[in-house]
Amino acid sequence: MSLNEYKIDDAAVAEWLPWGGLLLPHIMRQKDGSYFSVIKYSSYIENTIKKIAHLEYKRGWAIWIEKQHKNTDEYFITICWNPFYSSTGKISNTLTPTQITRSGELTYFDNTIKKIAADISIALPNCQLLERQELLNFLSFTLSFDTNEVKTPPIYLYLDIYLSENIKIDFGDNNILINDKMVMILSLPACPGQTTIQKIYELFNNVPYRYVKRIIMLSKKEAEIDYRKYTKSWCNNHSVIKSMIMADLLSDINGYYSENFLILLNQDIYYKIQKNCKEFLADFKIPYILESYNLKDIWWGSIPGIFRANITPPLTCFNLFHELLILNKKENGENHVS
């Protein structure tokens, strides 16, 4: 297929970014019709976590939980919604039985994201919805790892172009260069414990990085169907063993999960740091991948609002608010990378 007639530059990052414009100070409307908002949080009070209300997330919803490491550590949760319509014109994937039509999309998402932020703030003080300039700064860092603030635009539209136009991003066969620095991606498929994560924090303490957990939601019913397909040939003629393996695999929140560190490194130290990382992680005896072949797919999937990249089975269950807590739980330790 040729894109020439559409005058599309398929090498331009803006062509693949879904970001459109802000319909409200805290709500991004994407080019595909989906919406997202970003909640910033900091300290937490662990004993209030049980007070948070859990919503029944389903297909069409996605969540990114992110730590941005720069001059200081900052913590964010992005919640994205892609409305699905039934044959009657009603939206079929709201989080409550509410019946809404296209004209009510924005109001519904606005009310929902404010409720989620209020629920999270019970356990996570200083929780706030990012608006305008702060939202743009957050998105800019996801692309460039840069600590500089972006200039306020005359209008909050065409943000795909505005936020990427001064960033030089080159995609090689198995690498990504951002402003002539190389992106290293460390994937953690086994969901390691907080002690291991804290050690990785220390390992990359002196370089900019993003630590991103993303889940593409399925309802419990959809997850059960997916699991039956995926495990169809497991334990043939051993139904009891299979039922034991399958027990408690699902929870209230289920979906396709990824957990990645994205680190920006000078080219002259990239391979040295990669070697040090392998040696460091080998001591923990946990599964990990220093990405090469899937590097670009994972990078795109880490960008808030891009829910069509890096969708890899099997699905898993997910405790949203537990993850919010452990992402910013801190311990003392030494720095390992300079």
Q: Please check the confidence at residue 335 and state whether its pLDDT lies above 60.
A: no
pLDDT at 129 over 80: yes
Q: What average pLDDT does range 173-194 have in this prediction?
A: 88
Mean pLDDT throughout 284-313? 91
Report the distance separating Cα 338 and Cα 318, nearest Å. Answer: 34
For residue 204, the 8-state DSSP code is T
Task: Identify the top-confidence range among 38-52, 214-228, 263-277, 324-338.
Answer: 263-277
Distance CA 286, CA 94 (A): 38
7 Cβ contact partners less than 8 Å away, ≥ 6 residues apart: none
Locate 190 and state its tokens. 């086994």
Lowest mean pLDDT among 17-26, 84-93, 138-147: 84-93
Q: Which two tokens stand for residue 103?
A: 């004209």
Report the range of poorest mean pLDDT among 7-11, 180-184, 326-330.
Answer: 326-330
Q: Which pTM does this prediction carry? A: 0.86
Yes or no: say if 21 and 158 are a contact pair by the CB < 8 Å rule: yes
The one-letter amino acid code at 49 reads I
Q: Quick one: pLDDT band at residue 317, thresholds 50, 70, 90?
A: low
Identify which has the larger pLDDT, 155 or 71: 155
